[in-house]
Structure 1
């Protein structure tokens, strides 16, 4: 294996210094815009390697940025944003939350909130959006009982990470799948059976430690028709339909429901689609810019060096899988963003997987599971910060009840050790 060039990794170092350094100095890890940090790091990459002309380096950058998988990822991001915007605007989120709450037994509220968060995040494809929708309800439940506010918030965060890790319209899932060139339904099947035990054990733990606590939840109304677009997307995706058709069908149905029930006029509908897409612009441009920067780093020998460094002590396929898990986990610790961590480590993981014969669906699952696990445990991550802000508590206080993120790490490790899935399993 080529040893590569460690100096080619300087752009990565610049990015981490800007992103983490600004967070340490200001106390806000989102103070320095991540897209600006990437642009500066990309500029550093283009300034390196004097053997090549600047025009040639720009060509290399653009070839990476315009990679087929990257462009497909960007279009999927935009469609997912449009679907999210249209469904939210016509009241699908509220209906889904109210539907779930109406079925929760009053003596299992915290466990119920966890399960509800799992379902809603799976449907919506966003962990932060799920937290924003459910956290106020969790605050109300905590205030009317002796239940710890931190415990309630941890249950909601755990459930939100379930869907973030599995949803067909989650940016982390889209990124993991596209970076490894695997079908969404194949990754979902592998990923789901790895994390399901963690979700079950989490539910049991929450049920046991809150046994006897009850609170009265007011009667809430919901509309089945508003929930249908989410159900349609999940069913079509599991059936193996092309992701573009899945999202397009969801947008059309959600738009039709909104027009029929008066939630939208025609121009309102298009405006919501545009707003939803606009919400994905940053992650779309990040995908493009990171891919371009990585291509230049790869050309200069940086990826070869990372491969050499991360695989020199690997003696088996299991060792390679643990290496991928460690890489994406460390990257997420550094960036506090699981999607960005997958964008950065995805190409490297693919190279390791090809070298050691790891199935792509397993690699995509490892990337998604371990990045989401770390993200759900970061007190400076967006998910915990959002919940802590709504609840008015310290982000650190939530960590002691963060059962689900810890358990999916355990389940991920077990899956690697036992060699799941076997090659003949779908």
Structure 2
């Protein structure tokens, strides 16, 4: 007879994962994939020995969870496919060349934040803005010798500004739906934490830009890099076309994978017909990544910075990401499929007595679910179900519940290394999550302002039964 997990049984694999991650990564230097795989194995042992699940059932839970994240996995794979062809076609070199000429190094960080915020707000696609403008900005930052983790943080936080506020964003619409609030009422309510966080972020990135690039000019090495890029490629309208394709798909809210594939195939044709490079080498680049030797440039012919900028991408180089996501989803699938996560969360929610603790608990639960499952969509569904009645009992409007789902649930997704969002950002920008995490001021300040309002009672709307309407 299968047993319902007790609280302590449900908590055991969670504690085990935390200990293994801290000791394995922080002390032993193990790969995160290995730590997550050990956590999944430990969870499976508990599920089989204590909860009487069969191996076949455990396997089904894992397969179901992996299948649920295949859409973002495909996007990451095709980003690698696309980036290699952008180097082959001259798209990335051209963007870097003119970006380095036009952008003042001192203002690069704040420009990156604002550009990604505007694009993601207009399109509702944070991942699309990172894959287009974000990739180009990282190339410009490499050429300008900028602090790349700070630049990555500016790109990611700017992109998630739109993910949080855009009426076209999937996460914003999901939050509106699960909390039964009007979409535009939710967006206006989110401004109370978003506006001050945005101001703080802009000031922070201005300060970082001025302090890291005090000279405000391009170095001699960067000037040499510009000369070499111009000698390797022909610039003009055609190399820009692959990026314009991604931007058009993003603005029109068309599927991301076809956008990346169309952009990549167009780039191969441009590299072949416009740049005059061998077609075979362009096809090879999509698999193994772009190499300068593919276009007849020897190993010692260019600066190391030029080689580092251009030699990237390729489907084969995404294997580490695939292993990571499979290990993470194995653990998440076992925890959710056996009900251990639900038991642990319900116990935590049952201890709530005050308004502040309700808001704090909602935010913390969102973060915990992100940590355990890597899904910023699941946290909204689970926490809204757990906490809706509690907020009504405390005479709080559904908008008050919706805000921590965004301020904590959405904002922490890209700063968790094994989440789908974190993996995507790190893979696309080429900067590990732990490197850009300290500079994500927008995320942290959003959470701080949410807790300040919760503790002071500022803008905590009262429950209105008539306000529970169709979110459309």
Shorter-chain TM-score tier: 0.5 to 0.7
Counterpart contact for 1:74–1:284, Cα < 8 Å: yes
CA contact (8 A) 1:9 1:297 kept: no
Count of residue pairs brought into register by the alignment: 374
Asked if 2 retains the 8 angstrom alpha-carbon contact of 1:117 and 1:160, the reply is yes
Match of 1:47 in 2: 45
Asked if 1:305 is matched to 2:343, the reply is: yes
Give 1:287's aligned residue: 325
* Bigger mean CA offset, 361-370 vs 286-295: 361-370
Are the counterparts in 1 of residues 198 and 442 from structure 2 also a CA contact under 8 Å?
Answer: yes
SS at 1:241's partner residue? coil
Output the CA distance in 1 between the equivalents of 2:335 and 2:204: 46
Is the CA contact (8 Å cut-off) linking 2:95 and 2:140 kept in structure 1? no
Match of 2:384 in 1: 353
- Residue 294 of structure 2 is matched in structure 1 by none
* Cα distance between partner residues in 2 of 1:22 and 1:413: 32
DSSP-derived class of the 1:367 partner: helix
Q: Distance in 2 between matches of 1:409 and 1:356?
A: 18
Give distance in 2, aligned partners of 1:127 and 1:9: 42
The match for 1:143 is none
Q: TM-score, normalised by structure 2?
A: 0.59
Larger Rg: 1 or 2? 2
Unpaired runs of 5+ in structure 2?
A: 117-126, 164-168, 178-182, 289-313, 389-397, 418-424, 462-467
What is the match of residue 7 of structure 1?
9
* CA distance 1:320–1:344, shift in 2 (3 Å): farther
* Equivalent residue, structure 2, for 1:162: 157
**Distance in 2 separating the partners of 1:80 and 1:38:** 25
- DSSP 3-state at the match of 1:216: coil
**For the Cα contact (< 8 Å) 2:242–2:266, is it kept in 1?**
yes
**Structure 1 unaligned blocks of 5 or more:** 141-151, 169-173, 333-339, 376-380, 389-394
Matched residues in 1 for 2:114 and 2:330: separation? 34
- Aligned partner of 1:147 in structure 2 is none
SS of the residue corresponding to residue 374 of structure 2 reads: helix
Higher relative contact order (CA 8 A, sep 6+): 1
Question: Per the alignment, do residues 295 and 155 of structure 1 end up closer, same or farther by CA in structure 2, a change over 3 Å counting?
Answer: closer
What is the TM-score normalised by the length of structure 1?
A: 0.65
In the aligned structure 2, how far is the partner of 1:365 from the partner of 1:44? 32
Instruction: Call closer, same or farther: CA 1:346–1:266 in 2, change over 3 Å.
Output: same
In 2, Cα distance between the equivalents of 1:62 and 1:297? 10
Structure 1 segment 222-301 matched on structure 2, within 5 A: 223-262=236-275, 264-275=277-288, 276-301=314-339
Does structure 1 retain, via aligned residues, the 8 Å contact 2:362–2:387?
Answer: no
Q: Could you give the per-residue CA deviations for residues 323-372 of structure 1, whole angstroms, max 9, x where no partner exists? A: 4543455688xxxxxxx776167534431134456799974775342344
Deviation at 1:308, TM superposition (A): 1.0
Aligned to 1:37: 35
2:254 aligned with 1:216: no
Q: How many Å separate the matches in 1 of 2:98 and 2:450?
A: 32
* Map of 2:411 onto structure 1: 369
Question: Equivalents in 2 of 1:79, 1:299: separation in Å?
Answer: 30
Structure 1 residues 33 and 242, CA gap change in structure 2 (3 angstroms):
same
**What's the C-alpha RMSD, in Å, of the aligned pairs?**
5.2
The structural deviation recorded for 1:197 is: 6.5
Q: 8 Å contact 2:13–2:42 — kept in the other structure?
A: yes
> In the alignment, is the contact (CA less than 8 A) between 1:329 and 1:374 conserved in 2?
no
Pairwise CA distance, 1:34: 1.8
